[in-house]
Amino acid sequence: MSYLYRLYHPEIFQGNLRKNNYFEGWYYKLVTADESHAMAIIPGVSIGREEPDHAFVQLLDGVNCKSYYYRYPIEAFQAAEKELDVRIGNNHFILDGLTIDTDDFKGTVQFSGRHPLPTSLLSPGIMGWYSFTPMMECYHGVMSMHHRLAGRISNGKIDLDFNGGIGYHEKDWGTSFPRCWIWAHSNHFDDDQPISLMASVAHIPWKGHYFIGFIVSFLFQEEIMIFATYNGSRKKVFIEDDHVLMSFKRKDRQLDIIAHHAPGADLRSPIQGLMTGKVNESLQARLEVTYSENGKVLYSGEGTSAGLEVAGDTDILMSKEWSRR
């Protein structure tokens, strides 16, 4: 498949199984209608020089704060060329749903009413023109900010009913996760219209140096707004022991977030393609969110069942004054 086709379709498999020090993973977040259960399911591949290549399905039980990692031979990984259609053993992942079939979890969940990000010639995804930059440490894609769920997953003891629940879908690929980062997401807000927020601030290696990059997507009133390093937005970040404060501004629009920590579990993360790192992720965090235009508050509310990661030496991410990087 051509480079340009993959570039404008970040959801499909971006790599190949002959690469060195490479990972790719798709992140599916599933929350039941009553928010009694939250789950993240992450299929992917790990290709490195120091360990045998393998495919995996990683799962986070957000309520019980347990994680699971299922390893498969690399030959068990199959991916279509022109669409998201990934199979790992008996597990199957597409844009509109997934089937999970591991030792502990089995079931199928379908998606409807997906909210993909807007794209353009110069901005094929959430990374904007950085999508065209070769040799970045980590690339990011957002497949759907918000969608409805239908289906069930059983863990052998409990039948988890996801009918009427809400989901979110993103992915990462490259060599390694950043040296440090903050990532937060929620699409459980008390409002008649779908609201979803994803915010990420990270250390980005760049031409022998680094900068602090950020990408934020906010679904509000059926519009997805982007605050990012590449579009002239500015940020403030301050990290406390029990919460993180993040503010983003672009022209007359401002988004303020207070992310409150909650219990989580350790997930494996990539370092030079190998899944040897660890990051603690919660699916029980809370996000206080305020959105304003021209100084007028248009929305203020709390996002629940929120995903939150605060990883690495995050002191270098902080900026009390407005900054672009």
107-142 pLDDT, tens per residue? Answer: 999 999 999 999 999 999 999 999 999 889 999 999
Determine phi and psi for 280, rounding to 5 degrees: -90, 125
Residues 1, 122: Cα–Cα separation, whole Å = 20
What is the 8-class DSSP label of residue 314?
A: G
pLDDT given for residue 149 in this prediction: 98
pLDDT given for residue 51 in this prediction: 81
Asked if 92 and 43 count as a contact pair (C-beta separation under 8 A), the reply is no
Which helix (H) or strand (E) segment holds residue 5: the answer is helix 3-7
Specify the amino acid at residue 53: D
Residues 263, 211: Cα–Cα separation, whole Å = 30
List beta partners, residue 183: 200, 309
CA distances to 32, 138, 144, 199, 320 from 256, rounded to whole Å, are 27, 26, 22, 11, 13
pLDDT given for residue 325 in this prediction: 87
Which helix (H) or strand (E) segment holds residue 7: the answer is helix 3-7
pLDDT given for residue 1 in this prediction: 63
Q: Report helix, strand or coil for 130.
A: helix
25-35 pLDDT, tens per residue? Answer: 999 999 999 99
CA distances to 206, 215, 250 from 293, rounded to whole Å, are 33, 19, 10
Q: Residue 272 class from Cβ within 10 Å (0-12 exposed, 13-18 middle, 19+ buried)?
A: middle
CA distances to 13, 103, 106, 299 from 3, rounded to whole Å, are 11, 37, 35, 40
Six-digit token string for 6: 């993959």
Low-confidence ranges of the chain (pLDDT < 70): 1
Instruction: Supply the pTM of this predicted model.
Output: 0.97
DSSP string spanning 43-57? EEEEE-SSS--EEEE
